[in-house]
Amino acid sequence: MTDPSRRPDAGWGSGDDATTGVRRWVKVTVIVAAVVVLLVVVWLLIGGGGGEHGPGRHG
């Protein structure tokens, strides 16, 4: 009989969890990007743009 743990396609990253769900690096990248976007939005909303920038300068 063949040993199921010695499959020929069983290499790095080919475990059962590698074919189901989203990879960890993708999750981390999405989370980091979301945090950066959120920080930029908050920074702009509290006036972090500074100086004479924004729609009010044309008035």
Asked if residue 12 belongs to a domain, the reply is no
Domain ranges, residue 37: 23-48
Residues in CB range of 43: below 8 A, 6 or more apart: 49
Mean pLDDT of 3-14: 60
Check whether 33 has a pLDDT greater than 70: yes
Number of domains present in the structure of the chain: 1
Entry pTM: 0.51
Asked if residue 3 belongs to a domain, the reply is no
Asked if residue 2 belongs to a domain, the reply is no
Q: Distances in Å between the alpha carbon of 58 and those of 5, 12, 35, 40, 43?
A: 69, 58, 31, 23, 21
Residue 35: per-residue pLDDT: 98
First to last CA, the chain: 82
Q: Compute, in degrees rounded to 10, the torsion defined by CA atoms 52, 54, 55, 58.
A: 30
Asked if residue 44 belongs to a domain, the reply is yes
